[in-house]
Chain A
Amino acid sequence: MEESKAYIETGILELYVLGQLNAQEQREVEAMAHQFPDIREELNAIEIAMEHYALSHSIEPTVGLEKQIFEKIIPAPAQEPSVNSATQKEAIVVPLHDDRSASTIRTLKFSLVACIALLVISTAALYSAHDKLNSANEQIASLSTDREKFAATVSYIKNENKELQEIAAIASDPTWSSVKLAGTKISPQANMMVYWHKQGQHVMVDNTKMELPENDDTHQYQLWAIVKGKPVDLGVFDAQTQPKKLLLPMKEVSDAQAFAVTLEKRGGSAAPTMEKMVVIGSVSI
Chain B
Amino acid sequence: MAATKKISLTEDDLVRALRGHETIAIQALYDMYSGALLGVISRIIQQSEIAEDLLQETFIKIWNSADSYDSSKGRLFTWMINVARNIAIDKLRSKDFRNSNKNQDIENNVDFIDSQKKITFNADTLGLRDMVTALKPEYNDVLNMVYFKGYTHVEAAEELNLPLGTVKTRIRMAIMELRKHFN
Contacts and interface: CB of A to CB of B under 8 A. Distances in A.
Interface of A: 10-12, 14-15, 17-20, 26, 30, 33-34, 43-62, 65-66, 68-70, 72-74, 77-78
Contact of A15 (B64, B121, B122, B171): B171
A62 B53 CA distance: 11
B15 to A, nearest CB: 15
Nearest to B126: A56
Interface in B104-149: 113, 117-122, 125, 128-129, 132, 146-148
A72 B35 CA distance: 19
Contacts of B72: 30, 34
A15 B168 contact: yes
B170 to A, nearest CB: 9
B69 interface: no
Given A18-B171, A49-B182, A61-B55, A74 B120 contact: no
A14 B27 CA distance: 29
Given A20-B152, A56-B125, 11 more contacts: A15-B168, A19-B82, A48-B7, A48-B75, A50-B147, A51-B77, A58-B120, A59-B42, A65-B34, A65-B52, A73-B23
B147 A53 contact: yes
A49 B56 contact: no
- Scoring A20, A77, A78 by chain B CB atoms within 10 A of each residue's CB, the highest score goes to A20
Interface residues of B, number: 58
Nearest to B59: A69
A254 to B, nearest CB: 122
Nearest to A46: B175
A59 B39 CA distance: 5
A132 B32 CA distance: 76
A61 B34 contact: yes
B59 A53 contact: no
A61 B52 contact: yes
A78 B66 CA distance: 12
Contacts of A66: 30, 34
18 contacts: A11-B171, A11-B172, A20-B153, A44-B75, A49-B182, A51-B77, A56-B125, A57-B36, A57-B39, A58-B38, A58-B119, A59-B117, A61-B55, A65-B56, A66-B30, A69-B26, A70-B27, A73-B63
Contacts of B94: none
Contacts of B179: 45-46, 49
Nearest to B21: A77
B91 to A, nearest CB: 16
Nearest to B86: A19
Interface in B25-63: 26-27, 30, 33-40, 42-43, 52, 55-56, 59-60, 63
B171 A14 contact: yes
Contacts of B55: 61, 65, 69
B162 interface: no
B101 interface: no
Given A48-B75, A58-B35, A66-B34, A74 B40 contact: no
Contacts of A17: 74, 78
A57 B119 contact: yes
Contact of B128 (A46, A56, A61): A56
Nearest to A21: B153
Contacts of B52: 61-62, 65
B56 A15 contact: no
A59 B38 contact: yes
A38 to B, nearest CB: 13
Given A20-B146, A56-B125, A59-B38, A51 B78 contact: yes
A78 B64 contact: yes
B113 to A, nearest CB: 8
Contacts of A56: 119, 121-122, 125, 128-129
Contacts of A14: 168, 171-172, 175
B178 interface: yes
